Amino acid sequence: MAERKPATNPADVDQAAALLRDGAYVADRELATVVYLALSLGRPLLLEGEAGVGKTEIAKVLAETLGRRLIRLQCFEGLDLASAAYEWDYPRQMVAIRVAEASGQTASVESTLYSREYLIERPLLSALEPQPGGAPVLLIDEIDRADEPFEAFLLELLSDFQLSIPELGTIRAAERPIVVITSNRTREVHDALRRRCLYHWVPYPSYEAEAEIVALKAPQISSELRAQLVAFIHELRKQDLYKAPGVAETIDWAHALSQLDVVLLSSDLVDDTLGSLLKYQDDIARIRGSEAARLLAEIQSAA
């Protein structure tokens, strides 16, 4: 894919919707509005929703369509400052000390040990640095997986877009990064962090929107098969499943069916490809067989 030239932020909500559409992201008016406001006001955007509904994709699309660098911080339990922001290159510092001791220049090296030369940048610090094409898109993905103390550390960054390094001082962003924070809501994000963000809940798409998504992401399948698979997935989401299929699974299934040269769904075919949709054995066992046949018969009779 050819590299995009840097683009200006959208001037209104319609341009924000067009920007997302240009990145093959189907957005409703509410999402386009909050994206426009986040870009125009320079506010972080907190996106919550079920896994697989397209939260992370929004950050990727913004980076692509605006021609910005995407910097991603994947959150996990135990995430700390060294992994998220910066750490000192202690091995290189030790080598410098040994060399200085051998040459009798210890005093001169001590003054440079805690300089940028020995600083290893992690995603949060990198996002504050000037980037070609403008401020980057900083994706803080699945913040709910990180520990609560990490949220407290983020407050300074999201309030003033600066980072305090005791040995160096405060590093401030010359231009505010575009910040997108996602959460699958496995735990509640603290109010102090929410107050610093614009908020949007990303739901499962409507039938019409999901059909449009499939048409964009898997244009090789027929309109009839597209209608069937989207209808079947919407029926699946009404079932009592441990993890309902997200949009990502919809697209995976569409590609799988295309690879198998499927023209129309059948109950046997659904059984054979359930692993593209459902990721837990209990869910697969619940749907496979008579239940899959029943759901398929319902959507075929309603067509």
User: How confident is the model over 20-45, as pLDDT tens digits?
Assistant: 999 999 999 999 999 999 999 999 99
User: In the chain, what is the straight-line distance between the N-terminal and C-terminal CA atoms, in Å?
Assistant: 38
What is the predicted pLDDT for the residue at 24?
93
Residues linked to residue 70 through DSSP beta bridges, in sequence order: 137
Residue 1 banded pLDDT, cuts 50, 70, 90: very low
Give the domain ranges of the chain.
13-82+122-201, 86-116, 207-295
Rounded to an integer, what distance in angstroms lies between the CA atom of residue 257 and that of residue 278? 15
Average pLDDT, integer, range 96-120: 83
Q: pTM for this structure? A: 0.90
CATH C-level class of 13-82+122-201: alpha beta
Query: For the chain, what is the mean pLDDT?
Result: 93
Ramachandran assignment for 169, one of left (phi > 0), alpha (psi -120 to 50 degrees), beta (any other): left
What is the predicted pLDDT for the residue at 132?
85
Answer with the residue of higher pLDDT: 206 or 101: 206
Average pLDDT, integer, range 154-158: 88
For residue range 116-154, what is the model confidence (pLDDT) as tens digits? 889 999 999 999 999 888 999 999 999 999 998 899 889
What is the predicted pLDDT for the residue at 6?
62
Rounded to an integer, what distance in angstroms lies between the CA atom of residue 149 and that of residue 121? 21
Q: Residue 2 pLDDT > 60, yes or no?
A: no
What is the predicted pLDDT for the residue at 36?
98
What is the predicted pLDDT for the residue at 110?
73
- Interior angle at CA 218, CA 214 and CA 224, nearest 5: 65
Rounded to an integer, what distance in angstroms lies between the CA atom of residue 121 and that of residue 127? 9
Q: Residue 106 pLDDT > 80, yes or no?
A: no
Rounded to an integer, what distance in angstroms lies between the CA atom of residue 67 and that of residue 60? 10
Q: Tokens 């590299």 sit at which residue? A: 3
